[in-house]
Amino acid sequence: MAGSIAASAFLPGSPAAAPPKSVLGERPDSLDVRGIAAKPGSSSSAAALRAGKTCTHAAIPKVNGGSSALADPEHDTMSSSSSSAAPRTFYNQLPDWSMLLAAITTIFLAAEKQWTLLDWKPKRPDMLTDTFGFGRMIHEGLMFRQNFSIRSYEIGADRTASIETLMNHLQETALNHVKSAGLLGDGFGSTPEMSKRDLFWVVSQMQAIVERYPCWGDTVEVDTWVGAHGKNGMRRDWHIRDSVTGHTILKATSKWVMMHKLTRRLARIPDEVRTEIEPYFFEHASIVDEDNQKLPKLPDIEGANVAKYVRTGLTPRWADLDINQHVNNVKYIGWILESAPISILEKHELASIVLDYKRECGRDSVLQSHTTVYTDCNKHSGQTTLHCEHLLSLESGPTIVKARTMWRPKGTRPQESIIPSSS
């Protein structure tokens, strides 16, 4: 009775008295030489049946290392009976936990990798402000502020940023200011009304005072704003600070006029353009002209140590041109310093510069750079301050830029340097 109940539990629906034709672990009553159970009947028909089954068995491959299935109705009936008779327990109804665990592990590993790639948060607190350097409008939209990190390719032999690097930051913030204000047309800093009239801005004068030079990895904060200059011009000012300490790095001011793109002549500011830009004017000067002082008078040539240096054969490269097809104004500074003696560059640093732009320089121009050095010894401090006059001109004669620079010994406090004011 117990055996009948056990058998009925594993084979529900099959009679208890009828034993299965093939049960795993049991040996049939009669086996042939191939280990296949022999059936009663005539020897000839049994042999033919066995031969047919042998061919069928040979044609069916094994799957996953298991025995091949018999392609006969009896075996099919037995297989279906065995599969349908498999016990339904709690264990064999559970999901494949190994596959689920592998999927979860893969997801966690992928998430960890993505988190590592997205973990851009800087380790230094001075880089938390304006990390990507997009810039923003401040002071109720009258001033634009943008941060720059000093890159390794922007520093020179003395491990500090060059004057050209700082000047490029000034130019970049000026253009981003116009763009953020929604006034950028299809020109280089031109407003939509200027673009309609083929007008663009050109700088006529620029003055910069350098307090100190930032180093590799420093983050500088650049503020810029615009204001009116006379009846037919515009002024733009900048103030560069250390983003951590707030100390001044550079102050600069510039004067801009309009030029016609086709005639290459100066033009008056149209009323439509003035209406566009006047709401953004902020009357605040970064460099104060106390008592309208002019540049300090240079020492008398007879009583001072004067030296002259010339560099010829300077030509602009294609990369030196901007979209207005003339040489970028920052490039002129590099050409001016080409004629400065190496002894000045090694022992002194540029404290201030005033540039007076006379005419534009094109792609086919050939220039020459002249530098006159005046040595001035301070009797009180005992330190030597250098005053230099620069002239950049075409080899054919016309002047491109006139400039004045002042140099202080490296390591000197900015307060001890003489600061010129623009004329």
Active site residues: 324, 326, 361
Query: How many CA atoms lie less than 13 Å away from 388 in the CB half-sphere?
Result: 31
d(CA 129, CA 146): 10
**Separation between Cα atoms, residue 372 and residue 353, nearest integer Å:** 14
> What is the signed CA dihedral for 399, 315, 321, 177, rounded to 10 degrees?
-60
414 by DSSP, 3-state: which? helix
**Which segments within 211-341 are labelled E, that is strand?**
219-229, 233-242, 248-260, 266-267, 305-314
Report the candidate in 2, 281, 49 with the shortest Cα–Cα distance to residue 143.
281
Return the structure tokens found at 389.
Answer: 């006059």
* β pairing state of 233-242 and 266-267: unpaired
| Residue 144 burial by Cβ neighbours in a 10 Å radius (0-12, 13-18, 19+) | buried
Residue ranges of the alpha helices (H) in 302-359? 329-338, 342-347
248 close to 209: Cβ distance less than 8 angstroms = no
Q: What is the dihedral of CA 225, 228, 213, 241, to 10 degrees?
A: -30
**158 phi-psi bin (left φ>0, alpha ψ -120 to 50, beta other):** alpha
DSSP conformation class of 326: S
